[in-house]
Structure 1
Amino acid sequence: MPSPLREQFERPAGQREFVRSMIDKRLLAQEARARGLHQRPDIHKQVQALEERLVIQELLAAEEKSAGKPSDQALRDYYAQHRSELAQPERLRLARVQVLVPQGATAQQRAQANQKAERLAQRLKAGESLEKVAAEGDGPERGRGGELGWVARGDLPERETESAAFALKKVGDTTAVVAGSKGFSVVRLLERKESRVPAFEEVRAEVEGRALPQWKRKVLEGLLARLRAAGSVGIDVPETP
């Protein structure tokens, strides 16, 4: 129970409210029965459907408990069959110096922003520290020394900036000024992690989570196969001409 609710029920007023709600519910149920609502066919159908769902849930829970968890070999087999889905994409750790332009900027304003970005890019090229240059730019990264953190393809909102960043070859390389819809950027590559498939032990928990629905389906199919073999239920569907 969440802490706020637990604290509420620990107080006398909360306990009285809970008891009152239970009494009110019982009174309403008694009144419904007194009016014969429990005998309506549509109510019977809903009760039967609910009972059926509940007992099936309990049956499947018991079968899954009896079957135990997926074996280590089953998890390794799943890992081998889904390696491509578990692959980690290439990621770059980037820094950026950005000069933003206001929405609806004039051509002159964009030109001035471009010139500022070019000056900042030249200072980086001359060896001035990234932190100092980034502090004179715009965007939230200016307060982090230009640090953007780790990104994969699709993480950056501007395609032009992303394309330029992933075209960088060596750590320390810096792009030319890149024009985008929001302004101008200069991006530096700080670190690269190549695309890789992690070892099984690294992603074991993820594999367990991914394999669980498939395992539950197998438990269900096994139960249904046993029930069908033991029963005499058939499906008689006339053939269409």
Structure 2
Amino acid sequence: MFRYSKLAAVALVAIAAAHGAHAAEEQKTDPVVATVGGVEILQSEIDLAVTGLDPQLANLPVEQKRVAALSAVIDTKLLAADAEKEGLQDDAAFKQRIAYLTDRELHNAYFKKHVVDAVTPEEVKARYDVEVAKIEPQDEVRARHILVKTEDEAKAIIAALDAGKDFVDLAKEKSTDPNKSEGGDLGFFAKGRMVPEFDAAAFALEPGSYSKEPVKTQFGFHVIKVEEKRKQQPPALEQVEGQVRQLVMRDKYIALLDKAKAASAVEIDDPELKKAYDAVNAPAGEEQPATEQQQ
């Protein structure tokens, strides 16, 4: 009996020591910021309160946001203490709301663990490759143009080009377009990016050639030169990584929900509500009611 008690005492001392060390460590990383009615307010509570501040305060300096968060936490602690004195924590509606908020936060924590934090760079790259493979490359041209007000001016420019004048030099000298300083360079563009008349003329030209007749559009008269043609390049992974990551996360989330629904039957008593729920949650590709298709 004595031996057992002695071992138990040693264990309790060890636990107490460990707890003390842990508490001291916590105090270093999560210090006490204030005390309200004997209740400590930790830095972690201030950090949480900062995330819950009104969006209008998002651009405040860091210290001002900390003050706003501290004020919010102190106000909350003060009135929460008074609410407990009145027994509001035992109110049925309050308990129902706490149960819902608990479920929501558990959902969010599970989502973070199994979706947000579970996405790997390899998964993002694999999904990027899948999405890129779906893209049918469009034709693109890289063109320059010289824009002038009259047809006669455009014809004079074409004559100058025929005589051997440099297109870039003529663009810088004659064009009224803001990009004249770049020699009229429009970069690469796919069909449909320019007004129809310009589009048709540009895609009809071969690389290195220029339009032999002025091209009239709503902006004036153009002389167009096509520098290069190519198939449209897909965006680099770095440019769309965030969007691709969202796709991976969506698939992970749907898989989690499908697994959970398979394990737990979902029953909806209200027929109209069930019909609307089923329509919204129908798998992709399944036919939906006409009202849903029109939305």
- Tell me the TM-score range normalised by the shorter chain: 0.5 to 0.7
Structure 1 partner of 2:184: 146
User: 1:38 offset after TM fit, Å?
Assistant: 7.0
Q: Deviation per CA, 1:95-125: give whole Å up to 9, x if none.
A: 111125xxxxxxxxxxxx2211221222223
* TM-score of the aligned structures, taking structure 2 as reference length: 0.55
* TM-score of the aligned structures, taking structure 1 as reference length: 0.65
User: Do the aligned partners of 2:116 and 2:249 also contact (CA within 8 Å) in 1?
Assistant: no
SS at match of 1:148: strand
User: Do the aligned partners of 2:190 and 2:232 also contact (CA within 8 Å) in 1?
Assistant: no
Q: Gaps spanning 5+ residues in structure 1: where?
A: 101-112
1:188 pairs, out of 225, 235, 244, with 225
Q: Which has the higher contact order (CA 8 A, sep 6+)?
A: 1
Q: Gaps spanning 5+ residues in structure 2: where?
A: 1-49, 51-57, 272-295
Structure 2 partner of 1:83: 133
Structure 1 partner of 2:142: 93
Which moves more between the two structures, 123-132 or 19-28? 19-28
User: 1:22 offset after TM fit, Å?
Assistant: 3.3
The alignment status of 1:132 with 2:132, answered yes or no, reads: no
SS at match of 1:54: helix
Greater Rg by CA: 2
| Identity %, equivalent residues | 22
User: Do the aligned partners of 1:90 and 1:196 also contact (CA within 8 Å) in 2?
Assistant: no
User: 1:140 offset after TM fit, Å?
Assistant: 1.4
User: 1:43 offset after TM fit, Å?
Assistant: 6.0
User: Do the aligned partners of 1:84 and 1:197 also contact (CA within 8 Å) in 2?
Assistant: no
Read off the aligned partner of 2:209 and give its amino acid letter: D
Specify whether residues 215 and 204 from structure 1 end up closer, same or farther in structure 2 by C-alpha distance, changes over 3 A only: farther
| RMSD (CA atoms) | 4.4
Structure 2 partner of 1:179: 216
Q: Deviation per CA, 1:48-97: give whole Å up to 9, x if none.
A: 4433322112223333479764966x937x84587233x44222111111
SS at match of 1:187: strand
Q: Distance in 2 between matches of 1:201 and 1:24?
A: 47
